[in-house]
Amino acid sequence: MAFRKILDYAPPPGFRGQGLISVTAFDHLGQSATGTVTVKVGITLRFGISPSQLRFTPSGFEIPVEEAASSNPVVFFSSTNLSEWTPIFTNDSTSDRYLDTSALAGPRRYYRATQVP
């Protein structure tokens, strides 16, 4: 018989960086195992939404990012259904504009981005 629990972690508001969570799991016989989980918390970035910022170009879909907090890499995700997200590329944050060159050939999709802590 298998049991499964999902650990939900809600960091304090505004928290960014790395934290540790100690976890102890017990089975139905009372046996236990303890481990430590490293949690990295990044910030979900905002996109510029004016037509002059968010647009198709001959090379792809241009995505402006706001609020990148440091020079850490920015990871972009896409989804066609808002429930399954796939990382599509990672860029450094030296630019506030990114170009998705594969957007011209695929279905309409949604985007989100996070900055690596």
Model confidence at 97: pLDDT above 80: no
* Tokens of residue 18, six digits: 């790395």
Give the span between the Cα atoms of 97 and 53, in whole angstroms: 9
Confidence category of residue 107, pLDDT binned at 50, 70, 90: confident
Q: Which residues neighbour 26 within 8 Å (Cβ) at sequence distance 6 or greater?
A: 32
Its pTM stands at 0.58
User: Can you give the pLDDT at residue 38?
Assistant: 83
Confidence category of residue 79, pLDDT binned at 50, 70, 90: very high
Beta strand segments in 27-83, E = 32-41, 43-44, 46-47, 55-57, 60-66, 74-79
